[in-house]
Amino acid sequence: MIGTLYANTLYQKQIEQFDRDFARANSEELLKLHHMLKNLYIQSIIQNDTELKVDALKRLVKSASSLRLDASPYERELQTLGASMLNKPSELAKISPVPPSVPPRPTPSKSTISDTALAALGVDFSAGDLTLRFNRTLTQNQIKSFLLKSSNTYRYVFDLPGALMGNSRTYESNEVGQVRVAQYDKQTIRVVFSHNRPLTLHHRVQDQHVFIGLSEKTGAQSATTKPYESTKPDTPPRRFNPATKTVVIDPGHGGRDGGATNGKYIEKTAVLSIGLRLGKELQKRGYKVHYTRSKDTYIKLRDRTRIANDKNADLFISIHANAAPTKSKNKSMYGVETFFLSPARSERSKNVAALENQSDIEEMNHFSKQTYLNFLNREKIVASNKFALDVQQGMLDSLKQKRFNVRDGGVREAPFWVLVGAQMPAILLEVGYITNPDEVKRIFNNSYQEAIAKGVADGVDAYFYKNN
Q: How far apart are CA 59 and CA 23, in angstroms?
A: 12
- Exposed/middle/buried for residue 28 (C-beta within 10 Å: 0-12, 13-18, 19+): exposed
Residues 6 or more apart whose Cβ sits within 8 Å of residue 305 = 316, 418, 419, 420, 421, 422, 423, 426
pLDDT of residue 216: 53
101 has pLDDT over 70: no
For residue 84, pLDDT beyond 50: no
Confirm if 251 and 274 have CB atoms less than 8 A apart: yes
Indicate whether 403 pLDDT > 50: yes
Residues 314/246, Cβ–Cβ less than 8 Å: yes
pLDDT of residue 414: 66
The answer for residues whose C-beta is within 8 angstroms of residue 361's C-beta and 6 or more apart is none
Statement: residue 65 has pLDDT above 80: yes
Contact present, 251 and 271 (Cβ < 8 Å) = yes
pLDDT digits (tens, 9 = 90+) for 309-336: 899 999 999 999 999 888 999 999 999 9
pLDDT of residue 298: 93
pLDDT (0 to 100) of residue 415:
65
Residue type, 16: E
pLDDT at 395 over 70: yes
Handedness of CA 381, 382, 384, 389 (dihedral sign): positive
Q: What is the largest CA-CA distance in the chain?
A: 70
Report the pLDDT value the prediction gives residue 151, as an integer from 0 to 100.
63
Start-to-end CA distance of the chain, whole Å, equals: 29
Residue 468 to residue 456: CA distance in whole angstroms:
17
Distance (Å, rounded) from C-alpha 202 to C-alpha 218? 8
State residue 218's pLDDT score.
42
Query: Is residue 370's pLDDT more than 70?
Result: no
Show the beta-strand stretches assigned E in 324-364.
336-341
**pLDDT tens track for 175-186:** 888 899 988 887
pLDDT at 456 over 70: yes
Over pLDDT 90: what percentage of the chain? 33
Q: Which of 82-86, 104-108, 136-140, 416-420 is predicted most confidently?
A: 136-140
Render pLDDT for 147-187 as a digit per residue (tens, 0 to 9): 877 667 788 889 999 888 877 888 888 888 889 998 888 78
How far, in Å, CA of 405 to CA of 417, rounded?
Answer: 31
Whether residue 239 is predicted with pLDDT greater than 50 in this model: the reply is yes
Task: Say what the pLDDT of residue 152 is.
Answer: 72
- Tell me which of 51-60, 221-230, 287-296, 455-464 is least confident: 221-230
Determine the pLDDT at residue 359. 46
What is the pLDDT averaged over residues 214-220? 51
pLDDT of residue 464: 92
3-class secondary structure, 168 = coil
Contact assessment for residue 272 and residue 445, using Cβ atoms and an 8 Å cutoff? no
**What would the pLDDT profile of 253-290 be if each residue is shown by its tens digit?**
999 999 999 999 999 999 999 999 999 999 999 999 99
Cα 457 to Cα 435: distance, rounded to the nearest angstrom: 26
Residue 47 has pLDDT above 70, yes or no: no
